[in-house]
A = this chain, B = another copy of it.
């Protein structure tokens, strides 16, 4: 079971243009800092946040209780001109968890409902004994092949193409994909196998020639999983793995049999 929190700025659209459109560089700074702060605060409790659309963010929050969520919500209100709403859900796969969480949030009203402020709700239950599986996906040798060769914008377009392909392929496995800068993607992927990733990477290579690798971490929390995924990636870089995926598992984290995995997806 993975626990996902969906975060939404309350009634943000109207605020950005009231009484007149606010300066865009300020809005960019506001959004980026909100994201940074959420990562620091959830990070202090081993969570991980993805910026997604900046006004709607998705976090992995295994091990983080309701009180901590509330404290973070409060802290944002105390330091920002806007407030946030949050809904928490857990499920066997990341995609399902965020879907449940979004639904719970939507029950409380529209993103642009003037009356809805600082919702904090739980769709099903907080995960006690679950685990987080995270793949840190990286493009092989982007520096020589793109960054040092192509224009900054063309490299950027390339990364965006790979990103969208990955998003679409990985959704078939009920996994999510987020860009985390450079040529790196983070993919919450409870239930996926190494072979699943290899076959996704194969498809992408065929379509656009880009080669990928992934460290996969399985841990009690997002931070544990992410650390293990990073080490996996370094092992691949060091040539210590036969293939372009490498899974590391924290002690005490059960992985599932192929049968169980298949079941998760078809649930």
Contact = CB atoms under 8 A, between A and B. Distances in A.
Interface of A: 6, 8, 12-13, 17, 20-33, 35-37, 39-45, 47-49, 51-56, 58, 68, 71, 74-75, 77-81, 95, 98-99, 101-103, 106, 110-112, 136, 143-144, 147-157, 159-161, 163-164, 167-168, 171, 176, 180-183, 186, 223, 226-227, 230-231, 233-234
A152 B33 contact: no
Contacts of A27: 78, 180-181
Contacts of A186: 24
A44 B71 contact: yes
A183 B36 CA distance: 20
A3 to B, nearest CB: 15
Contacts of A29: 36-37, 39-40, 43, 79
Nearest to A160: B164
A75 B41 CA distance: 12
Contacts of A136: 24
B160 A13 contact: no
Contacts of A164: 160-161, 164
A261 to B, nearest CB: 20
A28 B21 contact: no
A30 to B, nearest CB: 5
Contact of A49 (B25, B144, B159): B25
Contacts of A155: 53, 56
Given A21-B230, A157-B168, A39 B48 contact: no
Contacts of A168: 157
